Structure 1
Amino acid sequence: MDTTVTHLDAVVVAALRAANYMESTIGNYQKTIRLLDDYVAPRGGEYTSALGAEFAALTISPRTGRFSAVRRFNYTRLVALFDSYLRSGEVVLTTGKRGGGGRQPETFEFRALIASWEADMADRGLAVATREAYGRIARGYLVYLEDQGITSLDAAGPATATGFFSSLLDRWAASSLFWQVSNFRPFLKFIGRGDLVDAVNLIGARRSHPILPDLGDEDVTRVVQACASSSRISSRDAAITLLSLMTGLRACDIIALRLDDIDWRVQTISLVQQKTKNPVTLPMPGLLAAKLADYVLAERPGHHGEHHVFLRSVAPFTALADHASIYKVTADTFRKAGVTDVKAGTRLLRHAAASRLLRAATPLPTIAAVLGHSSQDSTNVYLSVDHQRLIECVLPVPEGARS
């Protein structure tokens, strides 16, 4: 097999064109291929998986001297295509989640540990998104240990746990540490390191409790009207936005939604939620049902064997990858509707759905069922957006305090 970069370039580009990739995307691949050729040429001229791994590890931008997520994404996806051709003789076109999950540990002990951790999470039936979050932070810690020259957990003292979280502040906001700590504790308990749990607790990460934002009725009307009539908004994007705005579905549930989950006769959607594993049946308002039908019948790419409702609008026509895909859709829809002063992710749209139910005097247990909360305590936070009822709870100032 010819393994020169020139030959592999021709094979990969032909596969991309056959799969209807946009020429701009193919151009980006070709730019990275030229960089790979420059890397491989002085090292024998023949591409190997080992050279590909070395190339993919060049994530530091020479211009800024800092880690580049764009570099990692471009280099990693190209190497994956080259390696798939070396293994099978075919270019395997798949899509991955943004960020790629970060670096992987290299030592045998750490790799085996991650495999055991992932198997344990799967056996316990944790949601896919939860397993990904727990696995990402665990891999990050083990990679951090390797960077410190530590290749065994027995040599990892409490200082490594606090040092690891200090290193995260280069990429994460301090306000996000609470969630990273929460995702990390289960792994530490799995490996039986109570001392590291105690060390992590010393960080003092606190969960923030901001007053939840609300979406005004005027903005809701503008978005709904744009979804109904604007030629600039595709049926897919309108359906995704309306689905989140009207039902409060989480992004992971919108991504996982399958054609069999929709009952067109009674206009309902029935699914088991990814996060809580709770079943839920939601009504489809007329506009939402119409946009979903328009998308499925006229706009959705034909893809044999792909049962997810929402697919990528460009090749490869597979299911949407992650939360960022949904955010891009909703943010673009809001922008085209002229609503640009909010961050229009599904979190905001869930809050909007909950606030409308509250204003309609819907009981909290019903709201919890609609939003798919496993506990009503999760729903109580939405009381912060019910301004009228909060005002009614205000007590008058005593006469003595006024003087």
Structure 2
Amino acid sequence: MDITIKQLGGVVVVALRDAGYMESTIGNYQKTINALAEYAGGMDQLYIVELGAKFATMTTSPRTGKFSAVRRFDYGRFVRVSNSYLETGVVSLAVTKRGGGGARPVGHDFTALATAWEHDMAQRGLAAQTQDYYGRLARSYLVFLEDQDIVDLADADGASVLAFVESLMGRWAATTLYGIVTNFRPFLKFTGRTDLVAAINMVRARRQVKTPPVVDAADQQLVVQACATGVVSARDASITLLALVTGLRACDLIGLRLADIDWRGHLLHVLQQKTGNPVTLSVPALVITKLAHYLLHQRPATDDDHVFVRSIAPHTRLADHASIYTVIDKTFRAAGVTGVKAGTQLLRHNAVANMLQAAVALPTISAVLGHARQESTNVYLSVDEQRLLQCVLPIPAGARS
């Protein structure tokens, strides 16, 4: 298909407007089209895949002389849309995640190894989030080796593993060390290199168990009141209340489908994505009411059967954990609750605290949370201060003197 940059830009802009995109987003697309035309030598130049590939690499800001994540996202987005139109004759506006899962190795051997690791994880049925984290660490290590001019795993040694972990600690919080070690080790075992596994085992990383933070009763009431009185949209209220009451993970809130709601029984039937365990959750009347209001009056018209969809085009399911965090944080701020890192993890802790105070049995809490092992639930016992105080033994009379 022969098409000029001007013609291609016009097709894309029309598709964006037909899909209901905001004018500010269309304006960003137009800026990218103008930048492409300037790079190619004019609007009348033909657009070809090779031109798009070269343009997408122009990620250095001329103003700062440094890498620009905005350029990478905007240019890459337009090139993907343009290439899809050349191939299919249809403008594909599918949402892609910013960042794309981190850096990837470029060498043939390392690319093949990373692909084999991803295939192995998928074959074993690991949860999507687990595959993402394991894969990201493995690819980061291979990219680290390439940066050291190592292109064959046979040339890597235990010292490279330790140096890689040290490089991450320069960018990641110290509290993540345990997670880095435990989530990087499976890949090293997959390579069959026992010396690399021995090296990661040398890293002294202990799991830090802290008392999970919870929302105090007064702030919790403010949030519920904001959701009930319409201070925030019915969608945002539903997401926040579901996280607060049920402790659902962000991935399960994103994956919730219309058929999962039992309106008569006020129940949710959820297949938890992390564990694959089915669970049925009771939902309070307020949450059901907000869900119904959202679906009947505020939810955009879309063929997507996920309950929660984007409020701006394209009206598809929410993209990732960050989308849920943004919704909950926005609700907390609207309720006047500040000074807390509001997200599903905090509200998950809160749901457990409420269940413990209601004397719900630990096996039941474990099932609701979707823990593969009941022992994982024990850390939440520390949030029930009143019952912990009842376990404190009195000081013997002789010890007081």
| TM-score greater than 0.5 by the shorter chain | yes
Greater alpha carbon shift after TM alignment, 285-294 vs 89-98: 89-98
1:281 equivalenced with 2:280 (yes/no):
yes
Query: Does 1:348 find its partner at 2:346?
Result: yes
| Structure 1 unaligned spans of 5+ | none
How far did residue 54 of structure 1 move?
4.2
Indicate yes or no: 2:177 matched with 1:183: no
Residue in 2 aligned with 1:387? 385
Question: What displacement does 1:281 show?
Answer: 0.2
Distance change in 2, residues 1:50/1:161 (3 Å): farther
Q: Does 1:159 align with 2:156?
A: no
Distance between the aligned counterparts of 1:57 and 1:160, measured in 2?
A: 29
Aligned ranges for residues 114-125 of structure 1 at < 5 Å? 114-125=114-125
The structural deviation recorded for 1:310 is: 0.7
8 A Cα contact 2:2 2:47, kept in partner = no
Structure 2 match to 1:80: 80
Letter in 2 for 1:117: W
The corresponding residue for 1:132 is 132
**C-alpha distance in structure 2 between counterparts of 1:37 and 1:197, whole Å:** 51
CA shift for structure 1 position 298: 1.7
Residue 258 (structure 1) aligns with: 257
| One-letter amino acid matched to 1:334 | F
Q: Distance in 1 between matches of 2:56 and 2:166?
A: 26
Which has the higher mean CA deviation after the structures are superposed, 126-135 or 33-42? 33-42
Closer, same or farther: CA 327–167 of 1 in aligned 2, 3 Å:
same
* Aligned equivalent of 1:241: 240
Greater mean deviation of Cα atoms: 93-102 or 52-61: 52-61
Query: What displacement does 1:382 show?
Result: 0.8
Distance in structure 1 (CA, Å) of the matches to 2:3 and 2:394: 81
> Secondary structure of the equivalent of 2:269?
strand
Q: Which residue of structure 2 aligns with residue 103 of structure 1?
A: 103
Which 4+ stretches in 1 moved above 6 angstroms? none
Give the TM-score, by structure 1 length: 0.91
| Aligned-residue offset at 1:68 | 4.3
2:33 alignment counterpart: 33
The superposition leaves residues 331-375 of structure 1 with CA deviations (integer Å, 9 ceiling, x where unpaired) of 101111111121110000010110011112222112112222121
The corresponding residue for 1:146 is 146
Q: Which moved more, 1:181-190 or 1:57-66?
A: 57-66
Change (3 A) 1:110 1:86: farther
Amino acid at match of 1:307: D
Tell me, in whole angstroms, the C-alpha distance in 2 between the residues paired with 1:68 and 1:166.
Answer: 26
The 8 Å contact of residues 138 and 187 in structure 2, kept in 1 or not, is answered as yes
TM-superposition CA deviations, 1:231-250 (whole Å, max 9, x none): x4111111111111011111
Residues 73 and 100 in structure 1, CA contact (< 8 A), matched pair in contact too = no
Answer whether contact 2:275 2:370 (CA < 8 A) is retained: yes
Where does residue 360 of structure 1 map in the other structure?
A: 358
RMSD: 2.4
> Identity over aligned residues, as a percent?
59
1:219 is displaced (CA, Å) by 1.1
Q: 1:209 to 1:152 in 2, by over 3 A?
A: same
**Distance in 2, Cα, partners of 1:171 & 1:130:** 21
Does residue 1:369 correspond to 2:385, yes or no? no
Partner of 1:228: 228
Q: Which amino acid aligns with 1:97?
A: K
8 Å contact kept, 2:268–2:280: yes
Q: Summarize the alignment of residues 292-311 of structure 1 with structure 2, pairs less than 5 Å apart.
A: 292-304=291-303, 306-311=304-309
